[in-house]
Structure 1
Amino acid sequence: MVILNYFIMCFIFGTTFLAIKIGMDAGAPPFMSAGIRFFLAGFILFIMMKNKGKANMSLLVRKEMLLSGLGLTFGTFATLYWAEQYVNSGIAAVLSATGPMMILLIQTFILRKKLSNKSLIGCFIGFAGVILLLSSSFTFEANPLWFLGSIVILMGEVCYASGALYSKRVIGIFKEISPIALNAAQMMYGGALLVVLSLFTEKIDVESIISIKAMGSLLYLIIVGSMVGHSLFYWLVAKTNPVFPSTWLYISPLIAISLGALLNNEAVTWLMAVGAITIICGTLLVNLDALQEVIKKPILLKKRTY
């Protein structure tokens, strides 16, 4: 059951980038689309958790939820949605996989934690992959917005990394509350902030929002992407450990690239492919120590049962 749910989660996360791209190509306003998605998904999940007695309304007035939502949802997805107006869904997925490297860099240079040699090499490899990927814009597309969109996604991953590190502290503060409820609350805050941003920066065209493609994209992202995908993620965290579910980062970008090419006619050059594989290899090396712990734990558990 764990393996089946893991692959379902990887597939879901791999499809969300294409779903976002379809919505953006349909003319849906990026900030409003992201805001509606996360606020509604967070609201529904929060009500479900409250009915189960695993969340209370006082959680919604805590500053920790606002700050988590600011990094994990607002900063991460305001940039991703805007960028996917100009960047292929597969490339967006690959660049989003740099999140763990951003976490490591923040821990090293801001939190002053020691960096292992493996992680350092992984960062260099990942950085080289980013350079290769971005350099493909000069041979693949002359549009400078493609290059700018890629940079914006990387900036969003810095927001994600900051939010992820802060959320670890938040989970420690609210130990008695389900992580799913905490995630729902921060999504509501992040979604609300995205809607506010949209009201000040976007011209809302109702027809583009209610078009079949835009509505289909939004409903898929709310129900399948946010509710089912993230619930499976937290279920896997509870059943295994925090590291194992995060390995979706090595599988989903390849799914996203394949789906983008097959279903959305997104071109993939050899330079883009090399850059994508290099980034994934670097990300894998960055997390190698943590992944080795995942492999060792089941072996230790088996020894204890005999």
Structure 2
Amino acid sequence: MIIFNYLVVCLIFATTFLAIKIGVDASAPPFFSAGVRFFVAGLILLCWMAGRRKASFSMLFRKEMFFTGLGMTFATFSTLYWAEQYVSSGIAAVLSATGPIMILFIQTFVMRQKTTPTTILGCIIGFCGVVLLLLPNLTVTSNLWWLIGSMAILIGEFCYCSSALYSKRVIQRFSQESPIALNAAQMIYGGLLLLVLSSFTEHVHIMSLLTIKVTGSLLYLIVIGSMVGHSLFYWLVAKTNPFFPSTWLYISPPIAVIVGMLFYRETTTWVTAAGVLTIIAGTVIANWNSLKELTLNSKTRTNSSKV
């Protein structure tokens, strides 16, 4: 069940990059559309869980829900939505693939957890992949906004990784609550903060939101991206650890690049492809021991169930 849900998360999150790009290109205000997406999805999920008596609205008064929403939803997606005005969905997905490397960095140098030479080698390879990915545009002055957008995604990804580690502690602290309900509460806060940001920075025209592309993008992101995808991600964090679910970030980029090329006519180059493969190789090498341990644990559980 864990592996199946993980693969679903990879597929869903890979397609959300393109859904965001379609909405932004169709003139949807980035912060407003992101805010609506997460606030509506979180509110529906929390009401549904409360109706089933598996959650209480009192959790909204816990500071942990606010801080998780601030990092995991607000900081991450305010930068991503804004950046996708200047960066293709495939490149956005690839830059987000630095997430597992960032988690390892935080665990090693901030949380002082032990690391291995293999992990360090993987981090170096992954970093080289990011440099290789950015290289074609670093020398072109007309692509300054592309560079700024790329840096914004990396900053947002760092916030996402920090919050993923923090969310594990929150899930353990509120072990009596459903991970789905905890995810809903943080999305509500993240969505509200995005709407507040939008009110100060954007002029929202309701008619521009009623086009097929904007409405379709928003509905897909609310239902599939947030209600299904993020709930499964939170469930995986509760059942495993903060690292394993985050590895969707290097499974999804190739999917996102292919989807962008096939359905949105986004272009790519051999250098970009090399950057993609290098980042993926780096993160796989860096986390090889963890992936092997997870595989062995899965086989052990399977054999135990058969006995």
Q: TM-score, normalised by structure 2?
A: 0.92
5+ residue gaps, structure 2? none
Select between 296-305 and 198-207 the one with higher mean Cα deviation: 296-305
Query: Counterpart of 2:208 in structure 1: which amino acid?
Result: S
| Residue equivalent to 2:12 | 12
| Residue equivalent to 1:65 | 65
Residues in 2 aligned to 1:113 and 1:241: alpha-carbon distance in whole angstroms: 18
Cα shift readout 1:73-100 (whole Å, capped 9, x = no counterpart) = 0010000000000001011011112111
Counterpart contact for 1:18–1:260, Cα < 8 Å: yes
Cα shift readout 1:146-191 (whole Å, capped 9, x = no counterpart) = 1111111000011111111111111111010011111110010000
Residues in 2 aligned to 1:150 and 1:17: alpha-carbon distance in whole angstroms: 14
| Residue equivalent to 2:288 | 288
| Superposition deviation, residue 210 in structure 1 | 2.0
| Residue equivalent to 2:98 | 98
Query: Counterpart of 1:241 in structure 2: which amino acid?
Result: T
Residues in 1 aligned to 2:230 and 2:6: alpha-carbon distance in whole angstroms: 11
Residues in 1 aligned to 2:131 and 2:246: alpha-carbon distance in whole angstroms: 24
Query: Counterpart of 1:228 in structure 2: which amino acid?
Result: V
Please state whether the residue corresponding to 1:274 is helix, strand or coil.
Answer: helix
What is the RMSD of the two structures over their aligned residues, measured on CA atoms? Answer: 2.1
Residues in 2 aligned to 1:236 and 1:223: alpha-carbon distance in whole angstroms: 18
Residues in 1 aligned to 2:154 and 2:245: alpha-carbon distance in whole angstroms: 22
| Residue equivalent to 1:241 | 240
Residues in 1 aligned to 2:237 and 2:146: alpha-carbon distance in whole angstroms: 35
Q: TM-score, normalised by structure 1?
A: 0.93
Change (3 A) 1:261 1:139: farther
Change (3 A) 1:112 1:6: closer
Please state whether the residue corresponding to 1:228 is helix, strand or coil.
Answer: helix
| Superposition deviation, residue 230 in structure 1 | 2.5
| Residue equivalent to 1:132 | 132
Counterpart contact for 2:22–2:214, Cα < 8 Å: yes
Select between 191-200 and 103-112 the one with higher mean Cα deviation: 103-112
Residues in 2 aligned to 1:3 and 1:295: alpha-carbon distance in whole angstroms: 10
Residues in 2 aligned to 1:301 and 1:25: alpha-carbon distance in whole angstroms: 46
Select between 29-38 and 295-304 the one with higher mean Cα deviation: 295-304
Please state whether the residue corresponding to 1:143 is helix, strand or coil.
Answer: helix
Counterpart mapping for 1:21-60 below 5 A: 21-60=21-60
| Residue equivalent to 1:112 | 112
Residues in 1 aligned to 2:171 and 2:4: alpha-carbon distance in whole angstroms: 27
| Superposition deviation, residue 56 in structure 1 | 0.7
Counterpart mapping for 1:166-177 below 5 A: 166-177=166-177
| Residue equivalent to 1:75 | 75
| Superposition deviation, residue 119 in structure 1 | 1.4
Counterpart contact for 1:140–1:269, Cα < 8 Å: no
Query: Counterpart of 2:240 in structure 1: which amino acid?
Result: N
Residues in 2 aligned to 1:268 and 1:142: alpha-carbon distance in whole angstroms: 18
Cα shift readout 1:196-230 (whole Å, capped 9, x = no counterpart) = 00101112122222222111110110011111223
Please state if 1:267 is matched with 2:290: no
Counterpart mapping for 1:110-189 below 5 A: 110-138=110-138, 142-189=142-189
Cα shift readout 1:4-48 (whole Å, capped 9, x = no counterpart) = 554433221111000000001011111111000001111111111
Cα shift readout 1:264-292 (whole Å, capped 9, x = no counterpart) = 11110111111111111112222222111
| Superposition deviation, residue 142 in structure 1 | 3.7
Select between 155-164 and 134-143 the one with higher mean Cα deviation: 134-143
User: Identity over aligned residues, as a percent?
Assistant: 59
